[in-house]
């Protein structure tokens, strides 16, 4: 009797199983891809992570999908301020040349460039290689001395000629407007050869520079609210001067400091539409908010000639093995063999170039990587067209902003 009951239960289960529908594999439906409108801008992608607050500029590459890129940095602030993770910087945006012509090195034919690179590379001047967060410098120079500015950290104040020219011209302009004012305080730019400059992620190819805020008298202020104690007139004078004398890509500054400068400039007669284009134009602004930038300007400049030289010299690098190098910052999982394979070098070359007696590496260590040939993994920015400088528009009183006269704002 028991066996009959078990048999009946088994048959019932089999029947239920037969009635249950079999799972059917459903192919995912791929949504149609809509091609974006062509545009004259392209975005340089910045590999980074750990983003908390993002200021993302997403623009369309011609015929390519929307690309988002972030540039986060740790900022070395003034002596009293601790280094701490900063907000994300605006993306590196470049305007691509449409005709392939050389705009900023047109005085050099390909043959002349090759000859001078081989025989007299110093005659070419500064070269800004790669990107601000993954690059280096050739023919970098120590920031010059002058009466209108002072260099705060000389060992990390190596720069390009174009960056130095822009900052010193702005400093002289501020001194002309305020003859008795304090000098411009020039902070960090780059290391001697560029590359990773701790604790920054940018500042790698001579185009980023930190400039301290101005204060009335010697700076005794060790408070966070720098906008409450700063010399507003002098700080606006520098901001205006660097926009007039430099090819500014953008300026990072805490939004609270920005508001004080904006209000001051507007109250002192600056053109409101121009000010709004600098401070309130979203992705097209000149000023962007960044935490830990409450005590200094972080200015990123285009270096038209230095950047174009790097683009043209990329295939010629093997001609000079001493300059045919890249920098690599060690991350978890790196080995000398893996780095050598990835970047076209060798373990022996890596050990020799970095004076290593063994193959042990430490996280964050920066290695010089001698290359065997043209670097296939090195970032090479496209040729750029520098946009016009964002100078103040003519106004009824703008003629008073010449040498020796105070700026309108």
332: domain CATH number is 3.10.350.10
Q: How many domains does the chain have?
A: 2
| Mean pLDDT on 348-368 | 77
| Mean pLDDT on 35-47 | 31
Q: Please give the pLDDT value at position 15.
A: 41
Residue 211 lies in a domain: yes
Query: Are residues 89 and 118 both part of a single domain?
Result: yes
| Mean pLDDT on 245-267 | 97
User: How far from 9 is each of 4, 15, 16, 21, CA to CA, in Å?
Assistant: 9, 10, 11, 21
Residue 13 lies in a domain: no
Return all residues near 192 (Cβ < 8 A) that are at least 6 apart. 140, 158
Q: Please give the pLDDT value at position 144.
A: 96
CA 16 to chain centre: 66
What is the C-alpha separation between 254 and 230, in angstroms, rounded? Answer: 13
pLDDT at 246 over 90: yes
Query: Are residues 286 and 358 both part of a single domain?
Result: no
Query: Are residues 297 and 166 both part of a single domain?
Result: yes
E strand residue ranges, 27-110: 41-43, 59-60, 66-67, 71-75, 84-89, 93-95
Q: Please give the pLDDT value at position 374.
A: 66
Percent of the chain with pLDDT over 70: 67
Confidence band for 108, pLDDT divided at 50, 70 and 90: very high
Return all residues near 84 (Cβ < 8 A) that are at least 6 apart. 74, 75, 292
Query: Are residues 62 and 127 both part of a single domain?
Result: yes
CB-based contact 306:126 (threshold 8 Å):
yes
Percent of the chain with pLDDT over 90: 45
C-alpha closest to that of 160 among 73, 247, 83, 235: 247
Q: Does the pTM of the predicted model rise above 0.85?
A: no
pLDDT: which is higher, 169 or 333 = 169
Q: Please give the pLDDT value at position 168.
A: 98
Query: Are residues 169 and 273 both part of a single domain?
Result: yes
Q: Please give the pLDDT value at position 20.
A: 39
CB-based contact 350:339 (threshold 8 Å):
yes
What is the C-alpha separation between 165 and 73, in angstroms, rounded? Answer: 25
Q: Please give the pLDDT value at position 190.
A: 94
For residue 340, give the 3-state DSSP assignment: helix
| Mean pLDDT on 15-25 | 39
Query: Are residues 63 and 116 both part of a single domain?
Result: yes
Residue 302 lies in a domain: yes
**113 membership: H or E segment, kind and range:** helix 110-119
Per-residue model confidence as pLDDT tens digits over 301-344: 999 999 999 989 888 888 887 776 677 778 888 888 887 777 77
Query: Are residues 366 and 387 both part of a single domain?
Result: no
Query: Are residues 215 and 360 both part of a single domain?
Result: no
CA 398 to chain centre: 32
Per-residue model confidence as pLDDT tens digits over 50-107: 222 223 232 222 222 222 222 333 233 433 343 333 444 454 444 444 445 788 999 9
What is the C-alpha separation between 379 and 190, in angstroms, rounded? Answer: 18
**Tell me, what CATH number does 176's domain have?**
3.30.1380.10
Residue 14 lies in a domain: no
Segment among 54-58, 176-180, 390-394 with least mean pLDDT: 54-58
| Mean pLDDT on 235-246 | 98
Per-residue model confidence as pLDDT tens digits over 195-212: 888 888 899 899 999 999
Q: Please give the pLDDT value at position 373.
A: 66
pLDDT at 214 over 90: yes
Q: Output Rg (C-alpha) for the chain, integer angstroms.
A: 28
Residue 389 lies in a domain: yes
Mean per-residue pLDDT over the chain, rounded: 75
Residue 20 lies in a domain: no
What is the C-alpha separation between 202 and 290, in angstroms, rounded? Answer: 14
Residue 170 lies in a domain: yes
Query: Are residues 156 and 257 both part of a single domain?
Result: yes
Residue 70 lies in a domain: yes
What is the C-alpha separation between 190 and 203, in angstroms, rounded? Answer: 5
What is the C-alpha separation between 89 and 172, in angstroms, rounded? Answer: 28
Query: Are residues 183 and 150 both part of a single domain?
Result: yes
Query: Are residues 236 and 186 both part of a single domain?
Result: yes
Confidence band for 38, pLDDT divided at 50, 70 and 90: very low
Q: Please give the pLDDT value at position 399.
A: 39
Written as six digits, the tokens of 153 are 């950290």
Q: What separation, in Å, do the N-terminal and C-terminal C-alpha atoms of the chain show?
A: 104
Range of the domain at 150: 41-307+383-401
Query: Are residues 93 and 222 both part of a single domain?
Result: yes
Per-residue model confidence as pLDDT tens digits over 287-296: 999 988 999 9
Q: Which of 28-32, 214-218, 253-257, 402-406 has the highest mean pLDDT?
A: 253-257
Written as six digits, the tokens of 331 are 């991350």
């Amino acid at each position: 009797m028991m066996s009959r009951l078990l048999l009946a239960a088994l048959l019932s289960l089999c029947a239920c199983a037969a009635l249950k529908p079999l799972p059917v594999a459903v192919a995912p439906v791929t949504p149609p891809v809509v091609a974006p409108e062509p545009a004259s801008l392209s975005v340089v992608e910045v590999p980074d992570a750990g983003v908390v607050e993002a200021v993302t500029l997403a623009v369309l590459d011609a015929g390519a999908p929307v690309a988002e890129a972030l540039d986060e940095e740790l900022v070395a602030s003034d002596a009293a301020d601790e280094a701490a993770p900063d907000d994300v910087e605006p993306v590196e945006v470049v305007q691509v040349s449409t005709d392939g012509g050389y705009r900023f090195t047109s005085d050099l034919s390909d043959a002349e460039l090759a000859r001078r690179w081989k025989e007299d590379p110093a005659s070419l001047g500064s070269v800004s290689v790669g990107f601000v967060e993954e690059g280096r410098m050739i023919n970098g120079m120590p920031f010059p001395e002058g009466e209108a500015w002072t260099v705060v950290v000389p060992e990390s104040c190596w720069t390009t000629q174009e960056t130095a020219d822009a900052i010193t011209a702005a400093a002289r302009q501020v001194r002309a407007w305020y003859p008795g004012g304090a000098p411009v305080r020039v902070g960090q730019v780059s290391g001697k050869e560029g590359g990773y400059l701790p604790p920054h992620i940018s500042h790698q190819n001579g185009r980023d520079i930190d400039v301290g805020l101005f204060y009335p008298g010697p700076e005794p202020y060790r408070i966070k609210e720098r906008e409450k104690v700063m010399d507003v007139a002098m700080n606006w004078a520098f901001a205006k001067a660097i926009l007039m004398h430099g090819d500014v890509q953008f300026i990072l500054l805490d939004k609270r400091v920005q508001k004080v400068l904006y209000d001051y400039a507007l109250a002192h007669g600056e053109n409101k539409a121009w000010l709004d284009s600098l401070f309130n134009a979203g992705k097209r602004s000149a000023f962007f908010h960044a935490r830990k930038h409450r005590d200094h300007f972080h200015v990123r400049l285009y270096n038209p000639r230095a950047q174009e030289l790097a683009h043209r010299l990329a295939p010629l690098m093997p001609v000079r093995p001493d300059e045919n190098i890249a920098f690599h910052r060690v991350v978890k999982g790196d080995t000398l063999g893996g780095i050598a394979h990835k970047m076209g070098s060798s373990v022996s070359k890596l050990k020799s170039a970095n004076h290593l007696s063994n193959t042990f590496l430490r996280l964050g260590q920066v290695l010089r990587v001698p290359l065997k040939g043209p670097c296939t993994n090195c970032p090479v920015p496209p040729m750029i067209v520098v946009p016009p400088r964002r100078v103040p528009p003519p106004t009824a009183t703008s003629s008073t902003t010449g040498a020796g006269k105070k700026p309108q704002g």
